[in-house]
Structure 1
Amino acid sequence: MPPIAKAIEELQDIDAAALPEALLHPTRPYVLRGVAAHWPIARAGSASAQEAIAYLKGFVSDLPVTVSVAPPEAGGRIFYRQDMLGFDFRQEKAPLTVVLDTLLQQLADPAAPTIYVGSTTIETWLPGLRDQNDLGFGRLGSGEPQPLASIWIGNRTRIPTHQDVPDNIACVVAGRRRVTLFPPEQLQNLYIGPLDRTPAGQPVSLVDVAAPDHDRFPKFAEALRHAQTAELGPGDAVLIPSMWWHHMEALEAFNVLVNYWWRQSPRWMDTPMNALMLAIMSVRDLPPEQREIWREVFRHYVFDADAQTAAHIPRAARGMLAPIDEVRARELRARLLQALNR
């Protein structure tokens, strides 16, 4: 990573069993140095890749996992082919024990193909692992967020810059990772690729952070001026707030990351990405004058909406202008599906 990026602010001595409230509703990133160092998997990862693999094998279920495999010339980057009509990797199904054995056999091979198991639900594929390795939040009945806990396993992989709707605490438990973050407002400087054909579900930056082509992507220099970076070892974590762009680079021949995703909204709320897709379909290509009218409509009803927006309408008659709850969300979803399927 170019030295222009500044260091992500670090917090020390965070109690993994009782995360501070500010970290559960984050607006800025932090490195939580050593927050998971006491986990058995992190201790095994600190000792050696071999010990970490042996530890994980004690929890593996019989279900096959999805594995992304790329040739050595991909340089670990999970990305597009040059024509961007396909990807530089293929996906296979394999037992996790086979994946772990393959990574073990290739530890000393500098030309090993890229192997990447991404976003695999821990409780499904590694039952019991969280009993010994877990952050102390999201317990049922606690009133705190109920996160989805996932595991990421591979060798020297590079995951292109992308953003996620949920907040995220990502804990390195084996190997080392370099994380590079960009604030959400750097969207226009990151040269984001297609929204509907993506390597792993989220649109990604076309800029290779490790070797940026400034001639092709000149505005990326401005993004770098706002970048933050950190290198994480076993037991370290990074807190990535919702919609912060992040590039993840695994630096060793065996790397494992455990992460927690949670949203600051009810589970029944839809993802804003669906609203963006609908707006692109129905608003973006209107004549400029009409598009400006809809900009004002969205400002009034969405971005600047408050208690006064529908105050002139009797409460019982406000419909979708009333606060959205689970029942009203279900009604709106049904109405949208009916309209879209006409």
Structure 2
Amino acid sequence: MNAAAAGAPRVRALDGVAPSAIPYAELLAGQAPVILRGVARTWPLVAAARAADTAAIAYLRAFDSGQPVVGFTGPPAIQGRFHYDAGLTGFNFAGARIGLADFLARIGASLEAPRPESLYVGSADLDRHLPGFRAANDLPLDDPMFVHGVLASIWIGNRTTAHAHHDMSHNLAVCAAGRRRFTLFPPDQVANLYPGPLEPTPGGQVISMVDFADPDFDRHPRFREAMAAAQVAELEPGDLLFYPALWWHHVEALERFNVLVNYWWNEAPAFLDTPQTTLLHAMLSLRDRSDAEKAGWKAMFDYYVFGPAGRAAAHLPAHAQGPLAPIDATLARRLRAQLINKLNR
């Protein structure tokens, strides 16, 4: 068990929830991780995985569309910990396009190896790579909160670790084969997790530079504070974990064959830009200004962005509100065009 998980409290778990009764609104309102035990226990993939790893591999292979996936491979020495290399000039693994059937065959061949290479496919689109899979292995997603769409993905691998990172979407993560341990931290722990470079990153998101298996508290003393805020979720096949957007999560796949199916979604419509772009622009325009200027701009952002919706425009007639008005697709296009024009000056 990693150091942060060893003494951390367990994520709240609910038992006996039927798939048709998943309390999506309650989960989202709580803004904290929650486990739904056994909610996907009737999935055929879960049943196959409980029977044998080879049965689960065969079940997945039957849906293979033939579209190549990106498979990641690391030498046995990394012990499943996909990260940067020692000099922070590259990564300790390689990625390449590979047929899903070929990748599953490689995992199957590794099952009995005493020191297997580290293998995983991450965030492969279910509908593209495994068409038909969701007909019998899926969650009911007819709740109004999913009106802007859901991205369903699959993660397949052996004993691997995804170092602590955050996503910009809410997540429903179903353990469909093997076991998984999530160590989760609220967004306010970002400074205590010592994030790495913004780019390049091992998997698209910034990761923590702390070695959770053997923390160096001389280099990362604030990690003790992060540990005090951590929660741990240990998932068996059929369990579902919900966690909100921006929660940091360190994910360990614990068995020789593991599958996770996850559903990402946002409450905001797709025409809104990603806040990550805003963060980069703020670094360009604000970060290196004086403390006094930054304090002034913080007040501006609190008023125009982080304050109550509509406050900044409440005293203006509708025809004069411009970008202060509620943003729809048309206004979003106009603002995007203005930004592109200003950035290309």
Q: Could you state the TM-score of these two structures normalised by the residue count of structure 1?
A: 0.96
| Aligned 8 A contact 1:32 1:237 in 2 | yes
For 2:313, the equivalent position in structure 1 comes to 310
For 2:323, the equivalent position in structure 1 comes to 320
Change (3 A) 1:143 1:222: closer
Instruction: Tell me the alpha carbon deviations over residues 197-234 of structure 1, each in whole angstroms, 9 at most, x when there is no partner.
Output: 21111111011222222221111011111111122111
| Aligned 8 A contact 1:24 1:145 in 2 | no
Out of 136, 139, 159, the position equivalent to 1:156 is: 159
For 1:113, the equivalent position in structure 2 comes to 117
How many angstroms apart in 2 are the aligned matches of 1:130 and 1:170? 15
- Pairwise CA RMSD of aligned residues? 1.6
For 1:185, the equivalent position in structure 2 comes to 188
* Secondary structure at 2:111 match in 1: coil
Out of 35, 42, 52, the position equivalent to 1:38 is: 42
* Secondary structure at 1:80 match in 2: coil
- Which is worse superposed, 174-183 or 144-153? 144-153
How many angstroms apart in 1 are the aligned matches of 2:328 and 2:50? 46
Q: Which amino acid aligns with 1:72?
A: P
What are the residue-to-residue correspondences of 1:88-107 with 2, within 5 Å? 88-107=92-111
How many angstroms apart in 1 are the aligned matches of 2:147 and 2:105? 38
Change (3 A) 1:323 1:93: same
How many angstroms apart in 1 are the aligned matches of 2:312 and 2:52? 59
Query: 1:317 Cα deviation (Å)?
Result: 1.2
| Aligned 8 A contact 2:148 2:268 in 1 | no
| Aligned 8 A contact 2:310 2:326 in 1 | no
Change (3 A) 1:57 1:25: farther
Structure 1: stretches of 5+ with no match in the other structure: none
| Aligned 8 A contact 1:78 1:160 in 2 | yes
Query: 1:117 Cα deviation (Å)?
Result: 0.2
- Which is worse superposed, 284-293 or 3-12? 284-293
How many angstroms apart in 1 are the aligned matches of 2:198 and 2:20? 38
1:74 maps to 2:78 = yes
For 1:331, the equivalent position in structure 2 comes to 334
Change (3 A) 1:292 1:159: same
Query: 1:145 Cα deviation (Å)?
Result: 5.7
* Secondary structure at 1:225 match in 2: helix
- Which is worse superposed, 115-124 or 20-29? 20-29
How many angstroms apart in 2 are the aligned matches of 1:341 and 1:157? 42
| Aligned 8 A contact 2:28 2:244 in 1 | no
Out of 190, 212, 215, the position equivalent to 1:212 is: 215
Instruction: Tell me the alpha carbon deviations over residues 148-205 of structure 1, each in whole angstroms, 9 at most, x when there is no partner.
Output: 1000001111000011111101001111111110111111110011112211111110
Out of 12, 16, 23, the position equivalent to 2:15 is: 12
| Aligned 8 A contact 1:155 1:253 in 2 | yes
Identity across matched positions, percent: 45
Out of 166, 169, 172, the position equivalent to 2:172 is: 169
How many angstroms apart in 2 are the aligned matches of 1:306 and 1:145? 20
Q: Which amino acid aligns with 1:136?
A: P
How many angstroms apart in 2 are the aligned matches of 1:107 and 1:68? 17
Instruction: Tell me the alpha carbon deviations over residues 9-39 of structure 1, each in whole angstroms, 9 at most, x when there is no partner.
Output: 1011122134213135551111111111110
For 2:232, the equivalent position in structure 1 comes to 229
Instruction: Tell me the alpha carbon deviations over residues 262-310 of structure 1, each in whole angstroms, 9 at most, x when there is no partner.
Output: 1011121111111000000110001222222211111111112443322
For 1:54, the equivalent position in structure 2 comes to 58
- Which is worse superposed, 205-214 or 316-325? 205-214
| Aligned 8 A contact 1:25 1:264 in 2 | no
Instruction: Tell me the alpha carbon deviations over residues 130-152 of structure 1, each in whole angstroms, 9 at most, x when there is no partner.
Output: 0000001148x996563110000
Q: Which amino acid aligns with 1:223?
A: A
* Secondary structure at 2:184 match in 1: strand
For 1:340, the equivalent position in structure 2 comes to 343
How many angstroms apart in 2 are the aligned matches of 1:170 and 1:325? 31
| Aligned 8 A contact 2:179 2:253 in 1 | yes
Query: 1:253 Cα deviation (Å)?
Result: 1.1
* Secondary structure at 2:16 match in 1: coil
Change (3 A) 1:211 1:27: same
